[in-house]
Amino acid sequence: MSLFDEATDLTQSPDTRRAYRRRCRQLEKAALRALAAARRQPLNAVELTPALFVDYVIGKKGNYAANSWRLVRRSVIWTLEEDATGADEAFATEIFTALARLRDEQADPDETRGPMTSSTKAKKLRDDDLVLIEQTALASRAKHKTTLVLYLRVGVLTGLRPCEWPRAKLRRSNRDGFAWMLVVANAKATNRRAHGSHRTLYFAELDRQTADDILEWIQIARTKRYLRLLNTIGRLLWKITRELWPDRTEWPTLYSTRHLAVAAWKAYFLHRGQTDEERLEALAIIAALMGHGSDATASQHYARANAGQRVLVPAADPQEVARVRQVVDLHWFAKLIESAASNPDNGAQSLSATPSP
């Protein structure tokens, strides 16, 4: 018996709803297996109640880093709330009672555990790692080896999230000085984390093969088998990277292409000797190319500039750059000193290596 039914929601994008349901169902199946094993009963003889399910999820909290736990908790809460809308009053009450406990559970990762979830995902690669992955894939007998290589090539160039490809459009540019433009529907627009509904990446030129690669991947992404195909090439990438680097603690995933693209853009747009205004403009351009609503995320959570690969760098739409919110404060340290000086009892002494006599 499944606790989770299909539902709709006006505040989340379809991709987000699918991701929430998928993650929650995975946890439900794991909880059923654990409960059946504990009771030494077959799966079809076990009833997973909302209370038991929430107990299981809370019990796994230590496995997750803070960001991962928030995502898991949000997925379970959203999916169960959707299920409650179609349930009878007694079952809905049971769901909301269980969720009340889950809402209060803050992140509490077990620091003694090894790296798990996103902590094992590489945000950068050495210059020749990507080439080695492609060569290893093409030399294998895997059915979808060329599909993986195609994804890696277009992903590193464009920085698109996997879920953004189905609605992407490559066209001849309508902007002077550019031959091509890639129009992308921003995945985070419904959560107000994007600068708008779409972003546009302009390329001064693309060789015929590169343009064909992008067009081919867009066509693949629009097929009904796309999500299954992503899972397949993701497993192939997992296998190849573990075989190549068994002793590493971080390995690339399909999402790593976005990190590599951002690293390349940082290496191109950010450099020593820039004025504050130039640096803030560069951060806004990078954020616009990523589809972010502010300039903070790329500077804090993505690969550093020295991790960038040598790839073509697109240009951003100036109007989209102008919509990026400035969050990064380049003068934070000077303001910290000024604040401490004006409040000597609130930590000014800690700014000095030698305490005042």
pLDDT for position 64: 83
Write out pLDDT tens, residues 6-40. Answer: 333 445 678 788 889 999 999 999 999 989 888 88
Residues 170 and 200: beta-carbon distance below 8 Å: no
Write out pLDDT tens, residues 110-139. Answer: 655 544 445 566 666 776 888 999 999 999
Query: Does some domain include residue 200?
Result: yes
Give the domain-ending residue among 88, 117, 146.
117
Write out pLDDT tens, residues 249-290. Answer: 888 899 889 989 998 998 899 888 888 888 888 888 998 999
Give the domain-ending residue among 93, 117, 141.
117
156 and 60 belong to one structural domain = no
Closest CA to 292 of 253, 332, 265: 265
pLDDT for position 5: 33
Paired tokens of 173:
């540019």
Q: Across the beta sheet with 180-185, what order do the strands follow?
A: 169-172, 180-185, 198-203, 315-316
155 and 105 belong to one structural domain = no
pLDDT for position 192: 57
In order of 199, 203, 316, 330, the CA distances from 279 in angstroms are 21, 22, 15, 9
Please give the share of the chain, as a percent, with pLDDT higher than 90: 41
pLDDT for position 350: 33
Q: Per-residue pLDDT for 310 more than 80? A: no
Residues 296 and 246: beta-carbon distance below 8 Å: no
What gap in Å lies between CA 215 and CA 154, rounded to an integer? 10
pLDDT for position 115: 45
pLDDT for position 279: 87
Query: Does some domain include residue 37?
Result: yes
96 and 205 belong to one structural domain = no
75 and 171 belong to one structural domain = no
Diameter over CA atoms, the chain: 74
Residues 147 and 220: beta-carbon distance below 8 Å: yes
Residues 271 and 168: beta-carbon distance below 8 Å: no
Query: Does some domain include residue 220?
Result: yes
88 or 294, greater pLDDT: 88
190 and 221 belong to one structural domain = yes
Reported as a pLDDT band with limits 50, 70 and 90, residue 327 is: low
Query: Does some domain include residue 123?
Result: no
180 and 307 belong to one structural domain = yes
55 or 127, greater pLDDT: 55
261 and 204 belong to one structural domain = yes
In order of 17, 26, 44, 70, the CA distances from 9 in angstroms are 8, 20, 31, 19
* Element holding 290 (H helix, E strand): helix 276-290
329 or 173, greater pLDDT: 173
Closest CA to 199 of 291, 286, 296, 287: 291
Q: Which residues contact 4 (CB under 8 A, 6 or more apart)?
A: 21, 24, 25, 28, 79, 80, 82, 83
76 and 201 belong to one structural domain = no
First-to-final CA distance of the chain: 72
> Which domain range does residue 106 map to?
14-117
- With the C-alpha atoms ordered 183, 12, 196, 262, is the resulting torsion angle positive or negative? negative
- Cα 294 from chain centroid (whole Å): 16
Looking at residues 308-312, what average pLDDT do you find? 63
Tokens 């009450």 correspond to 93
DSSP3 helix / strand / coil % (the chain, rounded to 5): 60, 5, 35
pTM: 0.62
Q: Per-residue pLDDT for 198 more than 60? A: yes
When divided into structural domains, the chain yields a total of 2
Write out pLDDT tens, residues 220-231. Answer: 999 999 989 999
Q: Per-residue pLDDT for 201 more than 80? A: yes
Q: Per-residue pLDDT for 97 more than 50? A: yes
Q: Where are the beta strands (DSSP E) in the chain?
A: 169-172, 180-185, 198-203, 315-316
Reported as a pLDDT band with limits 50, 70 and 90, residue 346 is: very low
What gap in Å lies between CA 185 and CA 160, rounded to an integer? 10
Q: Per-residue pLDDT for 217 more than 50? A: yes
Q: Per-residue pLDDT for 353 more than 80? A: no
**Coil, helix or strand for 180?**
strand
